[in-house]
Every structure is written in C-alpha cells, then in structure tokens.
Amino acid sequence: MSSRTELRTGDALAWTRAEMMTIAAARALPNRATCLVGIGLPSTAANLARRVHAPELVLVYESGTIGAKPDYLPLSIGDGILAETADTVVGLVEMFNYWLQPGRIDVGFLGAAQVDRFANINTTVIGPSYDSPAVRLPGAGGAPEIAGSCGEVLIVVSQSRARFVERLDFVTSLGYGAGGDERRRLGLRGGGPRAVITDLGVLEPDPVTRELVLTQLHPGVTAAEAQAATGWELVSAPSIATTPPPTDEELHALRELERARPGDRR
C-alpha cells in the first residue's frame, strides 16, 4: 500500500499513514496533562492535541518554556515563539531540577532513530562504532531525563526494520532496559513508556516482561506488515484493535498546523 491510503468514510478526506501516526499520537494525550515535548513529530502531535481535543494541555519544552502555545511548529526548543506564547519561562536548571527530575511532568513525548523490543531509544549514532559511526545523530539532549523521570512516556516513530532493531547501536534513553523490573531496580522515578505509536499501529509494553506487544493496527495495515517492519519476533495481543480513522476535523487542524509559518497570527 502506498503512503497515502485510499480508505474513506463517506465523504471523509483521504489521509496518509504519516498523518494517521501523528493523529493517533495526539489522541494519546489527555486534556490538562503537563507534557514535556520533543521537537519534530512529538511537537506536531502535542500541538495538534491542544487544538482539537485537549485545549488545556500544558506544553513544556526543555528550554524552560511552560504553557507554550505556538502559532506554528517550532523549529527548535530555542524558537522564540515558545517563549513569546508561554505562561512562564524558567531557567534550564530549574526545568530539570525542579520540574522534571522530581516527577512534576505527567507525560514525556519523544521521537527516536532506533527503538528495541523494550522501548529503549537511540538518538546518538547509527553504526557499530561511536567514534566513527555511519551516521551521527543530534544526540541525547534532555531525552534521557525525560525518559527516566516523567510520569509516563509516549514514543512516536515510523516503523521499519532499520528503526525497530533487535539491538540498539547506542542506548541514549532507557525504556525498560532488559525488561521486567529493571527500571525499579535502577531507581528511576518515572513509569516508563506507555506506548510506541507508529505509522502502522500501536505497541504497548507487557505488564510483566515489559516487551512491546502489538495491540492496535491502523486501518488497512496487517499484522504481517507490522512484523515485516520489525527487526525482532513481534508479539501480538490476542485481540488487536483497529485505530479509528482520522476525522476531517483532525486532518484540517493538522494540515493547517503544518502549513503555518513564522509570522502567521490567528
């Protein structure tokens, strides 16, 4: 199937798998939660949630902006629109020492270059050598602290064998480590990843082993297709749900958000 699905409901708009992924991620964010947002897909999904169903969602960026309401998708955590539209701005040290590390953030929202079966994340290097990698990525930033200290974590990433790997080339941010109760044994405050949301479906950790389990497929996607895009033997739930397709409201809001540019004002 192409990246643009032909599935329609009545007169509903056609949509792409990338749009389905972003909308599914946005739906996972509850109203009134405090969400520490990473740039890229997490920022798009979080801003979409605030526009559609969660107007009181508090967006926090690690640069120190709390309650940001950007008119366009920020280019980085240092984009001026975040400070201009925030309820308040705090210093970086306060953001980490007072807000994040003590567990005052409900949801951490992260992307990834690689994910393994226990929702550990690599955003550092691709390739077997740290000193001479095939690709050097942006790195950790605040992601390890977000993954370790937020009440729960959502991960949004396109699903492919290159990204969903048996073994990470580098462990940047801990999900569930080697599985089981490793987070507790390491003394991490946060609850860990609640879901990994992809362009094919949703994976959630088993409550005991913490291995990711395929629990939901987006419309038109099969379990075999999800397995083919995964670098390990993917466990499926006994009953796999189907994601409700995007509504026209969600699609219009997402496309408007992605078209917005600096200088736009509503």
Sign, Cα dihedral of 133, 139, 145, 147: negative
CA distances from 262 to 48, 60, 79, 172, 223 (A): 17, 20, 10, 32, 41
pLDDT over threshold 90, residue 218:
yes
d(CA 159, CA 13) in angstroms, rounded, equals: 24
Long-range pairs of 246-250 with CB within 8 A, sequence gap ≥ 24: 246/12, 246/13, 246/15, 246/19, 246/20, 246/23, 247/12, 248/12, 248/13, 249/52, 250/23, 250/26, 250/48, 250/52
Q: Are 218 and 17 in contact (CB under 8 A)?
A: yes
pLDDT for 38 = 86
Q: Which residue has the higher pLDDT, 74 or 263?
A: 74
What is the separation of C-alpha 256 from the centre of its chain, rounded to a whole number of angstroms? 20
Residues 6+ apart with CB under 8 A from 35: 29, 46, 57, 58, 59, 60, 105, 106, 107, 108, 109
What is the separation of C-alpha 89 from the centre of its chain, rounded to a whole number of angstroms? 23
| pLDDT tens, residue by residue, 95-117 | 999 999 999 999 999 999 999 99
Which amino acid is located at 39 in the chain?
I
CA angle, corner 128, sides to 123 and 132, nearest 5? 85
pTM here is 0.92
| pLDDT tens, residue by residue, 113-160 | 999 999 999 999 999 899 999 999 989 989 999 999 999 999 999 999
d(CA 203, CA 164) in angstroms, rounded, equals: 12
Question: Known catalytic residues?
Answer: 62
| pLDDT tens, residue by residue, 219-240 | 999 999 999 999 999 999 999 9
| pLDDT tens, residue by residue, 40-52 | 999 999 999 999 9
In terms of Cβ atoms closer than 10 Å to its own Cβ (0-12, 13-18, 19+), residue 113 is buried
Strand ranges in the chain using DSSP code E only, listed in sequence order: 4-5, 15-16, 34-37, 58-61, 65-66, 88-89, 107-110, 114-115, 121-122, 125-126, 135-136, 152-156, 193-197, 201-205, 212-217, 235-242
Report all structural domains of the chain as residue ranges with CATH numbers, in order of start.
15-198+247-259 (3.40.1080.10)
Q: Which residue has the higher pLDDT, 10 or 173?
A: 173
What is the mean predicted confidence (pLDDT) over 71-86? Answer: 94
